[in-house]
Amino acid sequence: MKTYYLDHAATTPVDSQVLEVMWPYMHDHYGNASSIYRIGVENRKAINQARKTIADTLGALPEEIYFCSGGTEASNWAIKGYADTHPDLTEIITSTIEHHATLHACESLERKGHVLRKIDVDKDGFLDLKALEKAISKQTLMVTVIWGNNEIGTVQDIEAVSRICQKHDVALHVDAVQAVGQLPIDLTAVDIDLMTISAHKFYGPKGMGLLYIKKGTDVAPLIHGGRHEMNLRAGTECVAGIVGMAEALRRAVERQQAYHEHLSRLSTTFLAMARETFDDVRLNGPLPGRQRLPGLLSLSFRHIEGLQLAFALDRRGVFVSTGSACSADSLVPSHVLEAINVPELENLGTIRISFGHDNKTDDLPIILGHLQDALLELR
């Protein structure tokens, strides 16, 4: 059976050329980068070069790039680490459609006494900027916002959010996990204090991420131990993962425009086909275009359960999720769909389709046929 992987928002396969640059550091160049002898020093040089490559690609300084285990750690570190260095500021502002890594990190601080303010979004998932500005006070610690939503694809106006934060001298943390490789990111053009990135979302290795910390921003360590990562993140560095992430990021940014066009073509074509085929299909989030991640579709169908539909598609070799992969097996309605006030949500089943490099236009009619068969079986 031919299979069709349509869950690139959950993870992507490691690019073969990324694997090539990683392999020597998993086999031959195995030294601890903190060691003083040659095989350690050479790996330290590899880390330094990777840090510079990433910084140059993002428009940052090398000393603003801190490696960690992934997006979840980076967001927790940004939020909790910044809170630790600013104990006098006790209010956090976020949106109602954040990734759980952000929401749960904020809620952990709320349980310790912080005030958490969640700003509403409209029916397409766009942040209410007037409400955001109104919520800021002298006690505001930070604003934390997801750039490209992982469930419905909404792309927030980060430049506008940044201007509001600058106006009120409030720190801004941005979850850019889904944005990298699909949207242009230039930190010389937009003022962001903290930014989260995860390598496995753009054809890099799992277990590898980074936190961008703008120079002059004070953040306390989340993980304590040795003096790694400029004394801010303890733990022996994963040299292969760092080198792999740098190469994956370089390639993702280099191919970003072509990739964006490829994903846009697939998603707009499939959405048009689905609307012609199914009377009850609902697109969640904004219409395809500049304000939506190009390869992500959140589709709802009446009188069906999303999990059942995902399993029925799996039996046919089509791999999709029901929302965020971090909670894809949950029967609880998506907090994102609740936040955008999807009508009759209790009667809808939702799947998330997210395209990638290997998906082709010629595959779309076959995938649609499998979707038809799955819905007929369940109904």
Whether 57 has a pLDDT exceeding 80, the answer reads yes
184-207 pLDDT, tens digit per residue, is: 999 999 999 999 999 999 999 999
pLDDT of residue 201: 98
Q: Which of 255, 243, 148 is CA-nearest to residue 196?
A: 148
Q: What is the pLDDT of residue 326?
A: 54
What pTM value is reported for the model? 0.95
pLDDT at position 35: 86
17: Cα within 13 Å, side-chain hemisphere = 8
Mode of pairing for the β-strands spanning 282-284 and 348-354: unpaired
Q: What is the mean pLDDT of the chain?
A: 95
Decide which of 155 and 34 is more confident.
155
- Mean pLDDT computed over 315-338: 79
Residue-wise pLDDT tens digits, 257-291: 999 999 999 999 999 999 999 999 999 999 999 99
Domain boundaries, the chain: 4-12+256-378, 16-254
- Rounded Cα distance, 267 and 56, in Å: 31
| Residue 13 in this model has a pLDDT that exceeds 60 | yes
Using a pLDDT cut of 70, give the percent of the chain over it: 98
- CA separation, residue 215 to residues 68, 122, 144, 218, 254 (Å): 18, 34, 18, 8, 26
Q: Give the whole-angstrom CA distance, residue 325 versus residue 323.
A: 6
Section 97-115 average pLDDT: 98
Of 68, 165, 238, 326, the catalytic one is 326
The CATH number, out of the four listed (3.40.228.10, 3.40.50.300, 3.90.1150.10, 3.20.20.70), of the domain defined by the range 4-12+256-378: 3.90.1150.10
What is the per-residue DSSP string for 242-255?
HHHHHHHHHHHHHT
Is 80 exceeded by the pLDDT of residue 313? yes
Answer whether residue 328 shows pLDDT above 70: no
Q: Which amino acid is at 79?
A: I
C-alpha distance from residue 177 to each of 153, 154, 157, 280, 310 (Å): 12, 13, 16, 31, 24
Report whether pLDDT(349) > 80: yes
Query: Which residues are 353's β-sheet partners?
Result: 297
- Name the DSSP class of 150: T
- Answer whether 359's CB lies under 8 Å from 265's CB: no
The DSSP output letter for 15 is P
According to DSSP, the residues that pair with 257 across neighbouring strands are none
238 labelled catalytic: no
H helix intervals, 91-169: 100-110, 129-135, 158-167
Cα–Cα distance for residue pair 106/70, rounded to 1 Å: 18
Percent of the chain with pLDDT over 90: 91
Q: What is the mean pLDDT of residues 148-167?
A: 98
Give the model's pLDDT for residue 330: 56
Residue where the block lists tokens 């006070």? 137
Asked if residue 64 lies in contact with residue 216, where contact means CB atoms within 8 angstroms, the answer is no
Mean pLDDT of the 219-246 span: 96
**80-92 per-position pLDDT tens digit:** 999 999 999 999 9
In this prediction, residue 331 has a pLDDT band, given cuts at 50, 70 and 90, of low
Residue 36: what pLDDT? Answer: 84
pLDDT, mean of residues 9-15: 98
Distance in angstroms (rounded) separating the CA atoms of residues 152 and 221: 32
Confidence of residue 329 (pLDDT cuts 50, 70, 90): low
The average pLDDT across 155-171 equals: 98
pLDDT band at 327 (very low <50, low <70, confident <90, very high): low
Q: Residue 146 to residues 17, 93, 112, 127, 168: CA-CA distances in angstroms?
A: 29, 12, 23, 10, 20
Q: Is the pLDDT of residue 45 over 70?
A: yes
pLDDT-based confidence at residue 183 (cuts at 50, 70, 90): very high
Contact between residue 112 and residue 105 where contact means Cβ atoms under 8 Å apart = no
Residue with token string 């703008």: 214
The architecture that CATH gives domain 16-254 is 3-Layer(aba) Sandwich (3.40)
Residue 347 has pLDDT above 60, yes or no: yes
